[in-house]
Amino acid sequence: MTSTPLQDSASTSAPKAAPPVAKRVPLERTHHGDTFVDHYEWLRDKESAEVVEHLKAENAYQEAVTAHQEPLREAIFQEIKGRTQETDLSVPHRKDDWWYYSRSVEGKEYGIQCRVRAADTGDRIADWTPPAVEPGVAIPGEEVLLDGNVEAEGKPFFSIGGTAVTVDGNLYAYAVDNAGDERFTLRIRDLRTGELLPDIIENVFYGVSFSPDGTRIFYTVVDDSWRPYQVKAHVLGTPVTEDVVIYQEDDAAMWLGFELSADRRHLVLGIGCSEYSETRLLRFDDPAQAVTTVISRNERVLYEAEPFLLDGQEKILITHNRGAINSMVSLADPDELQKPLAEQQWQTVVAHSDDVRVNGAGVTSTHLIISIRKDTIERVQVMGLAGLGTPAQQAPVEPAFDEELYTAGVGGSDYEAPVIRLGYTSYFTPSRVYDFVLPTPERPAGELLLRKESPVLGGYDGSDYVATREWATSADGTRIPLSVLRHKAVKQDSTAAGLVYGYGSYEVSMDPGFGVARLSLLDRGIVFVIAHIRGGGELGRHWYEDGKKLTKKNTFTDFIAATDWLAGSGWVDPARIAALGGSAGGLLMGAVANLAPEKYAAIVAQVPFVDPLTSILDPNLPLSALEWEEWGNPITDPQVYAYMKSYSPYENVREAAYPKIAAVTSFNDTRVLYVEPAKWVQELRNKTTGSEPILMKIEMDGGHGGASGRYVQWRERAWDYAFIADSLGATKLLPGAGLK
């Protein structure tokens, strides 16, 4: 297929270059009577100078092969830059007595975190109306909490893993990663003086919170396999060596996290995997500070719990899958939780539905906030707390939006606020921020107040583009939803280029969302298809469970079905289709490359999980044990081992004419180690019977998300998209498209 002449392609000018050849060092891996000989496992040693030199040689090779794409990369970068308002700010959100927001400044890589004091006039809606903040203009009383550009100066990488402010607004904690390995250093600044406290805590994980009285700070620690397993408390002014372990999770397959309850009366510990969980609560007003369990993990219930006061009585809101595969919401008295689960009496708040997936629920002082998914679309509903769990319970109210394909989610709320913050976006509507005024008897439908629509420069007009919902049919007859995006100038005459994107794991949904960079592909006539394949969460819990463990191959065949739909849709030339996916979606790319290499002109696999069996067979590798609930445990289960071996991309590379392939990775990624694509690329070059280049591009300073600065990230995206556009012969803008 890839020998078909492509339109306006510049690839014929690519210089000839020899790919680096890694030495072969056979290493046997034997499980369940099966022996696999791995010749490239030695590349795992990132401390080896030989390995580093090999990776640099890979970069040199891809730079030589793709050098002719540099003008296109620069053009796409300038398009991204030209559509982005570089000096901008977030909509201020109120927490306690302050409005918090971030600024971005043209020419600077990182955001600047700011705040200004809030007013309390007695007019509830007015007091929760964000102040008018202008890009580039400081307002009276504005305080800079953290300037990321100053913090990042002289550092190879910069990322913030969490921030927290005390209730009184005096102390500000922030966690910084300067390596890309997702291990953060926690520091605390006294905002009254600007001075840093002597308290410095190394190697913390995401998320930090102060206790309500501001005397302690809670943080998470990872173990040697990069699994968060401890929640610790540091008393300000004491040695870090005296920090107390609030809870330690020793099960290698369970992930640990924490948050404060909405009313800040409890520390809520969340322990779980994808199939069951456990919530533990610590009351801040309990002198004994005993941690209590809501529902034991032994019951194998997947749930979240939120303690709160209802009419002055302690209640626990539970979002759970007990007898409800799509989950439901129930209300329980704490006393009930002391009984055996089968004897407990819960009140139903949101009943189970086969058509509606309940994603979560939370509370304010007056309302219940519910996140649901219906007809693939994420939505928000609210109802008053009065009569909750009784026949007098109020009907839910859902903010109404105009578009068919959109995403609406809760963007944060304060417990005492009369509004909740909503984020809204669609494929061609830039991100909007709304405040939704919570329903009252005087205003029973609530009210949507638009606070901001992210500006898009360069003459952007959403009416130039079209988004439709289409359906493919997979090999087993299942209908697969597709989101099909195109420029309105593209004709349905089977000549355009196409790109299919997918993920399909961990019940993660590929929800509608605006993307500035994507416009550069659409403006070049590429039809962009997002395949909502099994393993994701778009159509409820069944959709996820039909694409994991021993049904994982449905994810791959669904993606191929989406490709076949596009090839037969009349929009594109079947010889001009590329595929794109990252992380677990990179595993998808490796699988479809082996299953149907002839269907693609090019494949881009970002931080690809292409050697999953090797990784998951070693519980000492980062996060491996946590993956057993997603893929199965090949260490103990020979059926799982055989099934994974049958689709593992690295182990199933075969003699075939592979298309152009680019594996894009980062040296310091802790989730998908660089060694996986490094090995995969070598094996692809060994086996391919075609002449198309197999490339690896490695960011030597980045983490799982690539490099950290926004301009660097834009250039990385431009690299990926230029590779795709060049491979498809779609390098020229459509007439009238592009920046204006």
pLDDT digits (tens, 9 = 90+) for 633-690: 999 999 999 999 999 999 999 999 999 999 999 888 767 789 999 999 999 999 999 9
Tokens of 232: 């610790």
Return the SS3 of 34: strand
pLDDT of residue 15: 47
Report, as ranges of residue numbers, the positions in the chain whose pLDDT lies below 70.
1-15, 87, 287, 621-626, 670, 701-709
Helix (H) or strand (E) holding 235: strand 228-235
Measuring CA to CA, which residue among 207, 106, 188 is closest to residue 146? Answer: 188
Q: How far apart are CA 407 and CA 433, in angstroms?
A: 12
Measuring CA to CA, which residue among 441, 429, 436, 558 is closest to residue 503? Answer: 558
Tokens of 118: 């809030």
Residue range 592-645, pLDDT digits in tens:
999 999 999 999 999 999 999 998 998 776 666 668 889 999 999 999 999 999
The catalytic residue among 38, 243, 564, 669 is 669
Phi/psi of residue 100, nearest 5 degrees: -110, 140
Pairing of strands 660-666, 602-606: parallel
Q: Is 669 a residue of the active site?
A: yes
The catalytic residue among 277, 520, 583, 648 is 583
Q: How far apart are CA 466 and CA 405, in angstroms?
A: 11
pLDDT of residue 104: 84
Phi/psi of residue 653, nearest 5 degrees: -60, 135
Q: Is 274 a residue of the active site?
A: no
pLDDT of residue 224: 85
Q: Which long-range contacts (CB under 8 A, 24 or more apart) does 276-279 make?
A: 276/300, 276/301, 276/302, 277/301, 277/302, 277/303, 277/304, 279/303, 279/304, 279/305
Q: Is 704 a residue of the active site?
A: yes
Tokens of 349: 């708040």
Q: How far apart are CA 277 and CA 268, in angstroms?
A: 13
pLDDT of residue 12: 40
Return the SS3 of 154: coil
pLDDT of residue 88: 74
Query: What amino acid occupies position 463?
Result: S
Beta-sheet strands, E only, within 249-337 = 255-260, 266-272, 277-283, 291-293, 303-310, 313-320, 328-332
CB atoms within 10 A of CB 86: 16
Phi/psi of residue 687, nearest 5 degrees: -100, -25
Measuring CA to CA, which residue among 273, 532, 499 is closest to residue 378? Answer: 532
Q: Give the CATH H-level superfamily of domain 11-83+458-727.
A: Alpha/Beta hydrolase fold, catalytic domain (3.40.50.1820)
